[in-house]
Amino acid sequence: PYQAIPGPRGPFGMGNLYNYLPGIGCYSWLRLHQAGQDKYEKYGAIVRETIVPGQDIVWLYDPKDIASLLNERDCPQRRSHLALAQYRKNRPEVYKTTGLLPTNGPEWWRIRAQVQKELSAPKSVRNFVRQVDGVTKEFLGFLQESSDGGAIDMLPMLTRLNLELTCLLTFGARLQSFSPQEQAPESRSTRLMDAAETTNSCILPTDQGLQLWRFLDTPSFRKLSQAQSYMEAVALELVEENVRNGSVGSSLISAYIRNPELDRSDVVGTAADLLLAGIDTTSYASAFLLYHIARNPEVQQKLHEEAKRVLPCTKDELSMDALRTDITYTRAVLKESLRLNPIAVGVGRILNQDAIFSGYFVPKGTTVVTQNMVACRLEQHFQQPLRFQPDRWLQHRSALNPYLVLPFGHGMRACIARRLAEQNMHILLLRLREYELVWSGTDDEMDVKTLLI
């Protein structure tokens, strides 16, 4: 029975929220992977945790259970970005729905079905190769100018790259994020970067626990609202610019404006969602990708060799065909990086129907979250799981369970921009062929902050 699932309930069944409070508890919302590992060691491959009375999360670590959860096909629901949904409900003059991230049910599918058309087909995504390649080469020039022969903090640099790419592909607009003017603290680029980071940092604190923001103007909700207000203003401005230009461009928003199934509020909401996802999360993934390469010179050497076969001369244009067929090692490097450091610890769902996981009954309406990041670091799933070994994806791929590494989610609710994000990172790796990345930090494994489930 459901009540028999092991896990923390808190004293007298009052919930385990206290264990996430700073200075009191043993866990942290910013270290969910560590909390997940601890719960796995204490309770096993399925855990039922009561956060506050009436709010349970069932955590899944077994790939068979993960597959069972994610293969549900009836408009998968999730419980996430709740405060973002509230912010948008408070702005009916701008939004008719809460957007792709928080919305569930038929209204979510109405938007998703239209928006994904421009992003799901590999051929559509490859149409952006030349634009992405051009911006990536410009970015590497910017890095050279910025390095001064010393160490570089790559995360803010990569955030600028992904901001520039997101705005170019989404709106057909260049923000010139690498220019001295746009590096100023009050510039549009810097403020957008800050707004995306602030929004994502507020998601978990507002999603979990007592959710006092529903009744009070809490600091977290205020920060999220201010950040979203700025991102919304930029999205509105760039959407209107596309409208004034007659929506004749090749950008995603131009295509959405031309789509009679999407109204203006759908387009603005999608634009804001693409900004949020494209700026911060892809930068995080790219930063860990370069971190692993810098710490593994033999991997970097093999990457360079493949890149030089694909691009014999640095002045050569990167072809769409090469990206499709000739970069098997580059793909393996990205896959391995996302195995160790996925964008989120796992994938969340609200059950549409009763289910059985690891022999336990779990009722309809329960919030269930997969623990992919923890599962990917377990010896029973990967040999030497903490080692960065891209070759495992070339030599033993058929033996690896496909439901372990899911950095972009899975199924109908998978990230709509997955192909685009992967393509952008592949292009970055190929264009790094003339550069040597060196890690200047300590030998200790870098830990992470978890801002998303």
DSSP secondary structure letters along 9-59: --GGGS-SGGGGSTTT-S--GGGHHHHHHHHHHHH-SEEEEEEETTEEEEE
Mean pLDDT within 73-93: 92
| Four-CA torsion 81, 86, 92, 95, nearest 10 degrees | 0
Of the chain, the percentage scoring pLDDT greater than 90 comes to 74
Q: In this structure, what CATH number is given to the domain that contains residue 273? A: 1.10.630.10
What is the band of 247 on the pLDDT scale with cuts at 50, 70, 90? low
pLDDT at residue 453 is higher than 70 = no
pLDDT at residue 148 is higher than 80 = no
**Domain membership flag for residue 229:** yes
Write down the pLDDT at residue 135. 96
Task: Look at 277-286, 399-408, 442-451 and tell me which has the smallest mean pLDDT.
Answer: 442-451
**Domain membership flag for residue 145:** yes
**Domain membership flag for residue 439:** no
Task: Look at 12-21, 93-102, 106-115, 256-265 and tell me which has the smallest mean pLDDT.
Answer: 12-21
pLDDT at residue 360 is higher than 90 = yes
**Domain membership flag for residue 18:** yes
Between 24 and 48, residue with greater pLDDT: 48
pLDDT at residue 385 is higher than 70 = yes
Does the annotation place 415 within a ligand binding site? yes
**Domain membership flag for residue 450:** no
Residue matched to tokens 């992405």: 132
Mean pLDDT within 403-410: 95
pLDDT in tens, 186-229: 999 999 999 999 999 999 889 877 889 999 999 999 999 999 99
Write down the pLDDT at residue 248. 64
Write down the pLDDT at residue 126. 86
- Is the distance from CB of 65 to CB of 357 less than 8 angstroms? yes
Other CB atoms within a 10 A radius of the CB of residue 102 amount to: 23
**Count of structural domains within the chain:** 1
Residue in 339, 346, 405 with CA at minimum distance from that of residue 370: 346
Cα-based distances in Å from 96 to 60, 152, 172, 227: 34, 43, 25, 20
pLDDT in tens, 291-331: 999 999 999 999 999 999 998 888 888 888 888 888 999 99
Write down the pLDDT at residue 428. 97
Mean pLDDT within 112-121: 88
Write down the pLDDT at residue 449. 80
Write down the pLDDT at residue 120. 79
**Domain membership flag for residue 313:** yes
Other CB atoms within a 10 A radius of the CB of residue 358 amount to: 15
- Report the distance separating Cα 436 and Cα 438, nearest Å: 6
Calculate the average pLDDT of the chain: 92
pLDDT at residue 82 is higher than 80 = yes
Write down the pLDDT at residue 321. 81
**Domain membership flag for residue 448:** no
What is the band of 346 on the pLDDT scale with cuts at 50, 70, 90? very high
Write down the pLDDT at residue 452. 64
Q: Helices in 347-417 by DSSP H: which ranges?
A: 372-375, 392-395
Write down the pLDDT at residue 296. 97
Domain containing residue 37: 2-434
Q: pTM of the prediction? A: 0.93
**Domain membership flag for residue 286:** yes
